[in-house]
Chains A and B, each alone.
Chain A
Amino acid sequence: MRDFVYERPETVNEAVALLRGGDGRLLAGGTDLIPQLREGRRLAARVIDVKRIPALAAISTPPEGGVVIGAAANAAAVAGSSAIGRDYPAVAQSARLIGGVQIQNRASLGGNICNAAPSADGVPALVCHAAQAHIAGPAGARQMRLEELFAGPGRTRIDAGELLVSILLPPPAPRSAVKYLRFTPRREMDIAIAGAGTFIRLDEQGTIAETRVVLASVGPIPLRAPSAERTLAGERPTCPLLEEAGRRAATDARPISDTRGSADYRRVLIAVLTTRALTDCCRQLGIVIETP
């Protein structure tokens, strides 16, 4: 490993100034960066530890509602936050899927996002909740929808001199629910072969007024499933409808075949996971979906 200078900025502006040299790497949990540096897969002249910056470390509930999750907050903190557990249980459950306990105690939600792995378990539930990303850089602060942040496997639309500060989850709408399910051969410590996150919001008559279906590990980035969403919109949730949405999601998926699973297998998994996640959303809203 090449020698580096370890920096520990206390403010976002200090971190942005340290990034200006172009030779720095941000360190939060280190669960990816440290092996990458040791194995020479990444080089850094400066390692910039952002865990001391209050805006990146904190999980807070702003007066206008919602929750703000600092990008350096670790998965255990996200899973254990009472505000997240109460209003965004799928986000807390997703954080518990990342690695094992040792990884959850270090790995940050921001790192899970910025690594931009198509399999990132932390991402689909956040996209389902219409998360916004707060980004800071030399030109100041900007905000973008989290789902637009991904550019490809391992690539984001955060520029080299910028950093992800926090994720804002807007207040959950009444009569809405989110669920994320993934499939792995092992129960824990494994990477999803496929995952599906679903969000539905019902109107007062019980028809689906709004929906988001987000697919993991079946495309270069976390994918929305537009034809599954069109199938659901304006309908009352029934078993045939949720199964049809699953089949549609499988056609929206753009999987590759690799050592973890074939493209065909991934499509079948997407159909099943999407239907199950939607069924769970209905259950959370007090609707029992009769399975034939």
Chain B
Amino acid sequence: MKTLITCTVNGEERTALADTRDTLLELLRDRLGLTGAKEGCGNGNCGTCTVLVDGAAVCSCLMLAQEAPGHDILTIEGVAQGGALHPIQQVLVERGGTQCGFCTPGIVLSAKALLDATAAPTDAEIRHAIAGNLCRCTGYGKIVEAIASAAVAMKGQ
């Protein structure tokens, strides 16, 4: 069955004809063409489908598209403003906190949810914030350093 779904994505009201069974991830990727969020495991273990729903990091593969109306959804496509990378993205680039890049959209959004709520997180808080995001390339060290450095950069803004 098809159904019309309207929700706010990256600050814009978007309407799409979706299948009633679509997950939020399928709505974003297949109906709205926002392919930044990826499907990895499809059951909430890898975090590569992470988006922010009303500012909170969630796995978009574990939420139905039909649950989205009334919520404010931020995907990786909405993080850079006016062509300028967000400080988290900028620092991940500068510090080599990304290799193959598959996990990076999810990592950026998990880090953004953390830094929006906690201006100066500890290493333990950073590691907790990205515990639900698997990266098979970097070993996490550079990601943790980059997020800590982004926190400092964002404080200066």
Contacts and interface: CB of A to CB of B under 8 A. Distances in A.
B47 A4 contact: no
B44 A99 contact: yes
A4 B21 contact: yes
Interface residues of B, number: 28
Contact of A34 (B56, B63, B113, B128): B63
Interface string A27-43: 10111001101100000
Interface string B101-138: 00000000010010000000000000011011100000
Interface of B: 1, 20-21, 23, 42-45, 47, 50, 53, 56-59, 61-64, 66-67, 110, 113, 128-129, 131-133
Contacts of B129: 101
A106 B62 contact: yes
A209 interface: no
A102 B64 contact: no
B141 to A, nearest CB: 16
A49 B63 CA distance: 11
Interface string A175-193: 0000000000001110000
Interface of A: 1, 3-6, 27, 29-31, 34-35, 37-38, 47, 49, 51, 76, 99-103, 105-106, 187-189
B131 A35 contact: no
B128 A102 contact: no
B147 to A, nearest CB: 13
B65 to A, nearest CB: 9
Contacts of A106: 58-59, 62-63
20 contacts: A1-B21, A6-B64, A29-B62, A30-B67, A31-B59, A35-B44, A49-B64, A49-B66, A51-B67, A76-B56, A101-B57, A101-B113, A102-B50, A102-B58, A102-B62, A103-B44, A103-B62, A105-B57, A106-B59, A188-B128
Given A35-B44, A35-B62, A100 B21 contact: no
Contact of A103 (B20, B53, B59): B59
A188 B134 CA distance: 12
A101 B42 contact: no
B38 to A, nearest CB: 14
A29 to B, nearest CB: 8
Given A99-B132, A189-B132, 9 more contacts: A3-B1, A31-B62, A34-B61, A35-B42, A35-B44, A37-B21, A49-B64, A99-B44, A101-B128
Nearest to B113: A101
